[in-house]
Amino acid sequence: MSNESRLAQLAHDDGAAGQATVLESTALAQDGVANGGLRLNWPVIAAFFAIYVIWGSTFLGIRIAVLLVPPWFCAGVRFFTAGVVLFAYARLTGVKAPTGREWRSLAVLGMLMFAVTYGALFWAEQYVPSGITSVLEAMIPLFTMGLEVFVLRQQRFHPRALVAVVVGFAGVAVMLLRTGGNFVQVWPCVVVMIAGMAWSLGAVLTGVKRGRWAVALPDSRVLTSGAQMMIGGAVLLAASAAKGEMHPFPAIPVKAAWALAYLIVAGSLVGFTAFVYLLGKMPASRVASHAYVNPVVALALGYFVGGETITARTLAGRGWCWQASY
């Protein structure tokens, strides 16, 4: 089967899945109107679009940037810049500064969701195509579910969870199988999955308001997003300097500059603010549904724009990971 045929099949199968996910989210919002809960409004719809489609496109942006600029420097510039902009905007519009307790929570979440998650992701995309990276990130709902069920005890255990884990990791194994001279490097893929675990832990903790694992966060979503990105970005820049990425100071080609600008504005200023907004409206496992749609966008852009190859194993692994997460 040709790459074009495989891509057409992917678009057919996953397009329907993505549409179902979007419709499910809309239906949940509509139900909230009747029950006096979450209201159907444009901010909710726009926020889901941001984490479904815009975040899916950022995988290719990261791939373009890290092939031209040192990865931790690139990640640090992205998040520190976006964080400073959001934090300064919030403060200038009258939002109160975080308390000491809130700063501690913001530091923990900033480390998990930016320093660890994106430090690992930017490094790994030097070796793994953006489409495959996005497929591995489709395991995020599984990690999120596991944390909510087994660690934080927020959800009830269901035997289907064990089946989902087995199927999901089987899908990853299919993609990592070596056939001939075309194979995916194992360790970068493992690093991507560790990044997904760190992201899931941060996302789950963000929604915990009471009990042992409770985190104290500012009421302002903009201030929260900005502070977390600013902290994570500062740690990434420090790591970049310690690793020697700034000696000499890296030149940023025009192509990388455009990719970095897109990551800052669309991926961080818009995307993460939308993500934090949704976490304040619904459970983390529901918000993690972005992992169902992101790979469809990333695979398509990687193929048509980035010139990446889509193999039968990639599609098979993608299908297994999606089935496990869904």
Is the backbone peptide bond immediately before 248 cis, with ω within 30 degrees of 0? yes
For residue range 91-108, what is the model confidence (pLDDT) as tens digits?
999 999 999 999 999 999
What pLDDT shows up at residue 153?
66
Stronger pLDDT, 1 or 117, i.e. the higher one: 117
Across the chain, mean pLDDT equals 81
Q: What is the mean pLDDT of residues 157-185?
A: 64
Stronger pLDDT, 231 or 210, i.e. the higher one: 231
* Inter-residue contact 296 to 10 (CB < 8 Å): yes
Q: How confident is the model at residue 160 (pLDDT cuts 50, 70, 90)?
A: confident
Structure tokens of 224?
Answer: 């929260």
* Inter-residue contact 198 to 130 (CB < 8 Å): no
pLDDT at residue 6 above 50? Answer: no
> What pairs with residue 182 in β-bridges?
179
pTM above 0.85, yes or no: no
CA–CA separation, 255 vs 263, rounded Å? 13
Task: Calculate the CA 100 to chain-centre distance.
Answer: 28
CA–CA separation, 318 vs 326, rounded Å? 12
pLDDT at residue 11 above 90? Answer: no
What pLDDT shows up at residue 279?
86
For residue range 259-307, what is the model confidence (pLDDT) as tens digits?
999 999 999 999 988 988 898 888 887 888 787 788 888 888 998 999 8
Which amino acid, one-letter code, is at 71?
P
For residue range 41-92, what is the model confidence (pLDDT) as tens digits?
888 999 999 999 999 999 999 999 999 999 999 999 999 999 999 999 999 9
For residue range 136-154, what is the model confidence (pLDDT) as tens digits?
877 777 788 778 777 776 6
Q: Which residue has 């749609």 as its token pair?
A: 293
The C-alpha R_g of the chain, in whole angstroms, comes to: 19
What pLDDT shows up at residue 312?
77
Residue 250 DSSP one-character state: P
Phi first, then psi, for residue 182 (nearest 5°) are -110, 105
